[in-house]
Amino acid sequence: MSSEATGGRIQPADTIAEFQQAAVARLADARALRSRERDYWAVYTLGYAVEMHLKIAYFRLFGLRETEDARVALRMARPWAKQLGITEPDRNLHGLLFWLKLILIEREFASRPLPSEWANKMLSCVQRVASHWLPEMRYRAPAEGTARFRRVVAATAWIVQNSRVLWN
Amino acid sequence: MDLIADELLVDSGQKPSIKYDPPDLAPQIYIEDRGKNRLHVTVIGSFWEDVLEVQRPAIILDAFRKAGRTQVAEQISIAMGLTPGEAEALGMEEK
């Protein structure tokens, strides 16, 4: 995350480069948590890694360069999604299905659709992670961590390995 | 697949309406026309409980073909199956 001098507050990541570093860090965090049998929080961390990969794909589709400020693109996402008729909730811009649908529909709109079979595979993986990565996790006692982890780890790996197809 | 195909036939008037037990077994089928001959389909139903997410799109496409809606099936670019619990968790229980 970039940091600014103003009041010592940490500002949200502003660039693709920062998001990429953060995504790598979140995956490392998830591995560290898993090694300490903190599977529930490993899942929580994996969700963020997926979110960042999807946002990176959206920024690239938007035409941003690595070190370009992404905040405009972020602010445009909600109204653009509304124009495209996307009904998936954005969940304060953390919605994984929201970001994926935005990418897929934007590509269809621009006459650059992805092959259906591939798109549906990506959708299935994001759906798997999204249905186990919920905001209320942070307020609950850890439960079913290992089962959750097993359900999402393969899907996360597939998303991370294949996310660049979303903007190519 | 049969549940979805049957519900499509009910929808098109080719079959009488079905009473499901339990009620959340009833497929809720949402079809979005995205233009350029592309359709996005979401099917919500408890019958997805033991079906892997990755298997659901093909089942949905097969159901449309089984219901005689082959042309529609060919236009489906995105297909997603959700259990009612998944739909609620994702904030999509009312599309």
Q: Could you say which of 3.40.50.720, 3.30.420.40, 3.40.50.1370, 3.30.300.90 is the CATH number of the domain covering B2-89? A: 3.30.300.90
Summarize pLDDT for A87-127 with one digit per residue, the tens: 899 999 999 999 999 999 999 999 999 999 999 999 999 99
Q: Taking CA atoms, what residue in B is nearest to A127?
A: B53
Tokens of A119: 């798109």
CB atoms within 10 A of CB B79: 24
CB A60, CB A167: distance < 8 Å: yes
pLDDT category, A13, cuts 50, 70, 90? low
In angstroms, the separation between the Cα of residue A142 and the nearest Cα of chain B is 17
Q: Which residues of A are less than 8 Å from B76 in CB distance?
A: 116
Q: What is the pTM of this model?
A: 0.90
Which of B57, B78, B92 minimises the CB distance to A104?
A: B78
In angstroms, the separation between the Cα of residue B16 and the nearest Cα of chain A is 31
Q: Determine how β-strand B39-44 pairs with β-strand B76-82.
A: parallel
Q: Taking CA atoms, what residue in A is nearest to B81?
A: A124
Summarize pLDDT for B2-14 with one digit per residue, the tens: 899 999 998 888 8
DSSP string, B25-91: GS-EEEEEE-STT-EEEEEE-GGGTTS-GGGHHHHHHHHHHHTT-HHHHHHEEEEEEE-HHHHHHTT
Summarize pLDDT for B67-88 with one digit per residue, the tens: 999 999 999 999 999 999 999 9
ipTM of the complex: 0.89
**Confidence at residue A5, expressed as pLDDT on a 0 to 100 scale:** 46
In angstroms, the separation between the Cα of residue A66 and the nearest Cα of chain B is 30
CB B36, CB A111: distance < 8 Å: yes
- Domains of chain B: which residue ranges? 2-89
